[in-house]
Amino acid sequence: MPVVSQVTCPVCGSFCDDIEVIVKNNVITDVRNACAIGAAKFLDYANHRSVKPLVRKNGELVEASLDEAIRKSAEILIDATYPILYGWSSTSCEAIRVGLELAEEVGGVIDNTSTICHGPSILSIQDVGISSCTLGQLRHRADLIVYWGCNPWSSHPRHVERYTTFSNGRFQKSTWRAYVSRLGGILSKKRLRRAVNLVLRRDVFATPEISRELPYTMFKKKRKMVVVDVRKTHSADVADYFLQVEPNKDYELLQAFRMLIADEELDVDRVAGVPVETLDEIADVMIGCKLGVIFFGLGLTMTEGKLRNIDAAISLVRDLNRRTKFLIMPMRGHFNVAGANVVFTWQTGYPFAVDFSQGYPQYNPGETSVIDILCRDETDAALVVASDPVAHFPKKAAQNLVKNPLIVIDPQTTPTSLMADVVFPSTFVGIETEGTAYRMDHVPLPLKKIVEPPSNCLSDVEILQRILHEVRRLGSKRK
């Protein structure tokens, strides 16, 4: 059976490019090297999909021709005075480019999913800059990995394996064997506990408390991993040390680290629930590493402080670079959300929340971001591409989104597509359509076409181009 190799996985921001896909009679039968999430997407992508355009008539979605759906979409966008175009993080850069052209043509607002995830990170980076690099460099050289406010074991399952703690780099070795040995000890302890409880018919072991003392592995000259979070996750189980911070106290903890790294004293015993002695020891580990990196997630960007948390984290990295080498990188979620920011910036100068209503691009997050526009009920139509805002937006924003004419371009049936007035079932980017996307470290990688799509389905690029052409044709007629 033919094997398609070096396939990039269109799921998360890790964007693994070593996937092997086995295809038989235009059907994917097996996937190698992928995580459970990636394998499920490759093997089950075709389940429960619609293959024909739908248009709402008399309150119901009914099948329609592609031309009818295109014409209806163009009329909705032309008749609107302030349309929004949202999504873009799970499609190709080529489609995003056409979407920006369409937004400018109809004088609307175009926004991507950064507005609900790493928008605060982008604002902070614009304020104070960022020290970053590629994931490949970290794989070879980083000896201290800090995951702050994120759980890569669940959200980016191969990130630890491919780029950090469990990867074999040129100068840093994998700690996989040490983890397996430690895991064996933990399992033996659990078995012993169960056996003792069974014999004595009561739990003789108290619930173990999280140890504040740093383990000996934190002081060895090898790759180390620290997880900072409000709760213990699977990633914390893998780490050499788990630092539990009180909810919404990340800013205080980051500023405390900055003071300790500057050799200043703290006049308190604890910061964010952590003893100062522990923070002092971790600060020494940070200073003592050869190359450290902080990966941060929504636990930092979407908790109290938001962009100020990222300001503090980037400033901490800047302070550390006076003593050693340190870098910082956001853990991006959707596989091409970084690409959306890049293409938006190429075309307009701004990474998200771009308003074309005045005939030129304007950027004012909080004012021109889609959720704020929807909550103020200012829009009168919407186009959603490869996203599901009804399932993820605040209730008020979702209600105002669906009460106006709504167009959805998505290969999957979602709550948003079920509420839409026009639905285009497109092809799956990276499986049925090729394209380009950006990894979380802003490295562009190609997306391969592995199987042929259904004959009725067009790619996001083709659908958007046809809508754009129809908008221009109808617009010239009305002038």
Tell me which long-range contacts 39-44 makes (C-beta under 8 A, separation of at least 24). 41/9, 41/10, 41/11, 41/431, 42/9, 42/431, 42/450
* Coil, helix or strand at residue 436: strand
pLDDT of residue 395: 95
pLDDT of residue 190: 81
Query: 184-231 pLDDT, tens per residue?
Result: 887 888 888 888 888 877 766 655 555 667 888 888 888 999 999 999
pLDDT of residue 204: 62
Interval 350-372 mean pLDDT: 96
Which of 92, 91, 154, 119 lies closest to 330 in space, CA to CA? 119
Per the structure block, which two tokens stand in for 195?
């056996």
Mean pLDDT over the full length of the chain = 93
**Percent of residues, the chain, with pLDDT higher than 90:** 83
pLDDT of residue 213: 75
- Bridging pattern class, strands 241-244 and 224-229: parallel
> Up-side HSE of residue 134: CA atoms within 13 Å toward CB?
9
pLDDT of residue 194: 82
Interval 396-421 mean pLDDT: 95
Interval 167-182 mean pLDDT: 90
Q: How confident is the model at residue 423 (pLDDT cuts 50, 70, 90)?
A: very high
75 has a pLDDT exceeding 80 = yes
Query: 24-64 pLDDT, tens per residue?
Result: 999 999 999 999 999 999 999 988 788 899 999 999 999 99
Burial (CB count <10 Å: 0-12, 13-18, 19+), residue 216: exposed
The Cα 48–Cα 417 span in angstroms is 13
Please enumerate in sequence order all residues whose Cβ is within 8 A of that of 378, keeping only pairs 6 or more positions apart, or say none.
Answer: 82
The H-or-E segment that residue 241 falls in is strand 241-244
Query: 327-352 pLDDT, tens per residue?
Result: 999 999 999 999 999 999 999 999 99
pLDDT of residue 197: 80
